[in-house]
Amino acid sequence: MPFSSPQPDTVAEREQALLAPYAMHSALSSGRKHPEPAHPYRGPFQRDRDRIVHSTAYRRLSGKTQVFTREMGDFHRTRLTHTHEVASVSRTIGRALRLNEDLIEALALMHDLGHPPFGHAGEDVLHECTKDHGGFSHNRQALRIVEIIEQRYPEFPGLNLSYEVLAGQQSRAVKRGAPERPLLEVQVVDAADSIAYDTHDVDDALQLGLLTQAELAAEVPLWRQATDRVLARYQGLDDGELRRAILHELLDWQIGDMLAAASRRLEAGNIDCLAAVHAAPLIVVFDPELAELKTELERFLYDRVYRNPLVVASRRIAQDQLRAMFQGYLRRPNLMPDSFQKRAEEYGLPRSVCDYLAGMTDRFCQQEFQRLFAA
């Protein structure tokens, strides 16, 4: 059968049949800063997702640290694999709540787009270096990337994403003081991010030998309770099988709790439209009991993993290199590509240097340090 383009309202009709009334429907989108005609067979949020996936910044996430640098091994998560895991968890939750999965996926794939090399260690240094010029936040940087830095189209700067995707990322940059609650699709991505990093940072730490399952069972109630659930169903598992089963249990437990809690809040609040979502307290949040267990796990990870001497030593080396590179490019901006030199005329040299460094992968950053600035 020859291909024929769907009618322009096909996306709207499909969403009307599948999505809940409190979901963000494509037909209600506020559009884009630079107006574009509707696509014949893709909705606006699908186009957003595709633009993010095809961006340079997205590809670079494969070479950026999540928690552990590549010197510690090559099994653990990168910023890109973490992003994929957040998108997977987000879509699972979104489908169960009958939300807009295209919007959710676009938000998830964008959420860490602004991370610099070396993860939060790099973010801290860039914030320190630009404290007199507005500071640095990876959440705000993601917006700079998709609105200014990416040059993919002749008609406009950036990716010209929908206002809904931009507003969702903005809500991550401004956690407090927002005039209204974000869309449920935005809330889902925030929750999925928490689920993914709490679970997978433990997995990576175990694989790298920074933790043992015995330590976790003794000191982390969430892990201990998940272990008890697994052992109630299975006997005779070896250490690897037990670890994987516990990690699966942690994911299922957190997602299940999230869905049950959100469903109760939707019903109790009589949430039946977007206006009700914006006016209500946050809906996609954990029940207090599980939230406290997650907080205890995060405290443990901070003390025993993120502050582990091996991790701290690797972090310190990376930070010293970034500081030297920031000052070096300030002194010799001609070492940067022409596009960043030109951008400095509009945004100032410190911000342009920050943009250039933030876009680097770990490996390219180390190579450029050795090539240009190593004593």
Domain count, the chain: 1
Q: How many helices (H) and strands (E) does the chain have?
A: 18, 0
Instruction: Decide: 336 and 352 in contact? Cβ < 8 Å.
Output: yes
Decide if 365 is inside a domain. Answer: yes
Decide if 7 is inside a domain. Answer: no
Decide if 11 is inside a domain. Answer: no
Q: Is 123 helix (H, G, I), strand (E, B) or coil?
A: helix
**Distance in angstroms (rounded) separating the CA atoms of residues 8 and 21:** 21
* pLDDT score at 8: 45
Decide if 92 is inside a domain. Answer: yes
Domain that holds residue 70: 17-373
Tell the residue number behind the tokens 């190579």, with chain if given. 367
The alpha carbon of residue 289 and the mean position of all alpha carbons in its chain are separated, in whole angstroms, by 25
pLDDT in tens, 260-273: 999 999 999 999 99
Decide if 10 is inside a domain. Answer: no
Instruction: Decide: 146 and 166 in contact? Cβ < 8 Å.
Output: yes
The list of the chain residues with pLDDT below 50 reads 1, 5-8
**Distance in angstroms (rounded) separating the CA atoms of residues 121 and 299:** 18
List, in order, residues 6 or more apart from 330 with CB less than 8 Å away: 349, 350, 353
H-run or E-run covering 48: helix 44-53
CA-nearest of 209, 141, 162 to 358 is 141
Hey, which bits of 247-318 come out as E strands? none
Decide if 176 is inside a domain. Answer: yes
* pLDDT score at 247: 96
Instruction: Decide: 81 and 102 in contact? Cβ < 8 Å.
Output: no
Instruction: Decide: 336 and 354 in contact? Cβ < 8 Å.
Output: no
pLDDT in tens, 176-212: 656 789 999 999 999 999 999 999 999 988 988 899 9
Instruction: Decide: 110 and 169 in contact? Cβ < 8 Å.
Output: yes
Cα angle for residues 278, 282, 284 (degrees, 5° grid): 115
Decide if 4 is inside a domain. Answer: no
* pLDDT score at 178: 67
Largest CA distance in the chain: 66
Instruction: Decide: 107 and 46 in contact? Cβ < 8 Å.
Output: no
* pLDDT score at 306: 87
Q: Which amino acid is at 230?
A: V
Per-residue buried b or exposed e for 126-156, using 16+ beta carbons within 10 Å of the residue's own CB = bbebbeeeeebbbbbbbbbbbbebbeeeeee
Domain with 149 in it: what CATH number?
1.10.3210.10
